[in-house]
Amino acid sequence: MDQVVLAQREDVVSEDPGDQVEDRFHVAFLWTVASLMIGALWIKPLVSSFWTDEFGTYWVINGSASQVLGRAEAVQGQSPLYYFIAWVTSRVAGHSEIALRAPSLVFLLLSAVFVYRITRRLFDLETARIALITFAVWPSIAFSASDARPYAVATFCTVVSTWALIRWLDDSRVLAAGVYVILAASVAYAHPLFGLVVPAQVWYAASRIREGSTRLQPRDIIIAFIAIAVLVVPVAVEVLELWRRRNDWSVANTATVPWIVQVLIPPAFIAAGLGAVVLARPIRTGAGLRTMSWPTRVLILGWFLIPAIALVSLSIFTPVDLLPARYFQCLAPAGAILSAIVIRTLEPDQVRRLVILLLAIMSVLDLASPYKSGDMRGAAALVGTVADQDSVVLVRSGFAESMQLDWYGDPNRSGLFTAATEYYPVPGKVVPLPVELDSTTIDFARSQVMASLPGADRVVELTPSDSPYIPWLDELMRQQGWTSHEVGEVNLFRVMEFTKDGADPDEA
């Protein structure tokens, strides 16, 4: 078909009247807010203490390239793509918190660029600028920008593959097809769960063909997605292996309506909307979703809803619970774009600025913190004030894998459980304990403690502040003739010291 309707071409979008005459103050306001949010929520936390999962990354990459490959697949159960990026970075820049988190920041900054380009291509400049802000303050995005984990890389692959698909559908070039296929396949290699966005991409491509807004034919799309399927076969094999190990890595989290709503519509967005209703009168709304073409609706809504429905259904109908917010991050770019579309419909500009200002303030209040998830660095320093080389340090591992008791005797896996105290060293002998103290682990935990006592001059316990280990260990150690003393508490962690009855804790 020689004459195709390319109504959404980038050169057409750039002719939007709103792009020609703009309020300079308004534009400067949007860019300033976006920059401040990235600085406060993405960059500032780079120096904070590592949290549990980041210690897993440190352990995986703290070895040779072959060890990285083995640990990533056999222990973390993930593609080694991200871990090789982190391994190379550590060889160049070291193992500091900033160095190991830098790849995540870089990939999310690049993601923000492509979120902007996608939104401008599908809508207009104003919506694109607002999308930068909503993307920056989306909770899972803000967290992963300074998180030494694969989610930022996976987000980048998701966003850039979507942009590549749009470009391919627009210009129909073979080179663009190859770029899209490689980038779409990379999504699953970055993180298998992010592959849930590919069905939305398939639906979008089919809708564009049906609409007649692309020169591509159905066979072109079929060939491309067959190629993607072939490229991700190794990931499919890996997922099947993970399914066999599902009891090792499932993250329990009951699928409740409030929880799902909070993940899909962050509290700061709701608060900003309510605040605008109260403070701004009158509020007029312009065109929004109603003016979107059908393919655009398919892309944005499918990108947002398909992963959510899949993850919730997995939780309801299978033994696997994958409901933490980080697993919903694959839909975050679509959520940010949808939010930007809603804000864009508000008139006049002053109302939009008020909503964005409220959103920024609420996001900072909700998300800005000196700690990502507890201050393990401070807790380790607190242990160092009382422990010495003859001490025993009992540390509750934060990893779900610590419930697999046979891992403790496996030299290729057990190092995961002491990664935190390897990164933030403490004096003495570190003895790891399972993440949960229950009927399946209590006997093992008791044996771990009892085996560590002979020859120890003192025992130091490092556990979360609300851990059941605190009263349990206090009773167990009292029965063995030890007395407990609280050393102190830092964010989310408590340090307890045990000395022999009659001994001065300051001289033991």
Give residue 42's pLDDT band: very low, low, confident or very high (50, 70, 90).
Answer: very high
Query: 393 phi and psi, to 5 degrees?
Result: -115, 115
pLDDT tops 50 at residue 261: yes
Res 283: pLDDT: 65
pLDDT tops 90 at residue 76: no
Res 63: pLDDT: 86
Res 17: pLDDT: 43
* E-strand stretches of 221-338: 284-285
State the average pLDDT over residues 265-269: 93
Of 14-23, 195-204, 211-220, least confident by mean pLDDT is 14-23
pLDDT tops 80 at residue 318: no
Q: Look up the pTM and report it.
A: 0.90
pLDDT tops 90 at residue 135: yes
Res 286: pLDDT: 62
Inter-axis angle of helices 349-367 and 332-344, to 10 degrees? 150
Res 401: pLDDT: 87
Cα–Cα distance, 284 to 289 (Å, whole number)? 15
Q: What is the mean pLDDT of the chain?
A: 88
CB 111 within 8 A of CB 119: no
| Closest residue by Cα to residue 75 from 57, 91, 88, 63 | 57
Tens digits of per-residue pLDDT, 364-396? 999 998 899 899 999 999 999 999 999 999 999
State the average pLDDT over residues 232-236: 89
Tens digits of per-residue pLDDT, 149-193? 999 999 999 999 999 999 999 999 999 999 999 999 999 999 999
Res 411: pLDDT: 87
pLDDT tops 80 at residue 351: yes
Res 79: pLDDT: 75
Beta carbons within 10 angstroms of residue 250's beta carbon: 16
Inter-axis angle of helices 81-93 and 52-61, to 10 degrees? 80
Domain 376-500 in this protein, CATH class? alpha beta
Better-predicted residue by pLDDT, 227 or 236: 227
State the average pLDDT over residues 267-273: 92
Better-predicted residue by pLDDT, 216 or 238: 216
Res 254: pLDDT: 59
Res 3: pLDDT: 42
pLDDT tops 70 at residue 19: no
pLDDT tops 90 at residue 416: yes
Of 68-82, 93-107, 218-232, 351-365, least confident by mean pLDDT is 68-82
pLDDT tops 80 at residue 16: no
Res 284: pLDDT: 65
Cα–Cα distance, 173 to 134 (Å, whole number)? 32
State the average pLDDT over residues 294-318: 90
Token reading at 468: 């059941």
Res 503: pLDDT: 57
pLDDT tops 50 at residue 13: no
CB 130 within 8 A of CB 308: no
Task: Please list the alpha-helical segments (H only) found in 368-468.
Answer: 376-384, 419-423, 442-452
State the average pLDDT over residues 204-228: 95
Beta carbons within 10 angstroms of residue 124's beta carbon: 18
pLDDT tops 80 at residue 460: yes
Res 5: pLDDT: 42
Better-predicted residue by pLDDT, 166 or 276: 166
Tens digits of per-residue pLDDT, 299-309? 999 999 999 99
Q: Name the CA radius of gyration of the chain, rounded.
A: 26
Q: Where are the domains of the chain?
A: 10-250+274-367, 376-500
Of 59-73, 95-109, 217-231, 251-265, least confident by mean pLDDT is 251-265
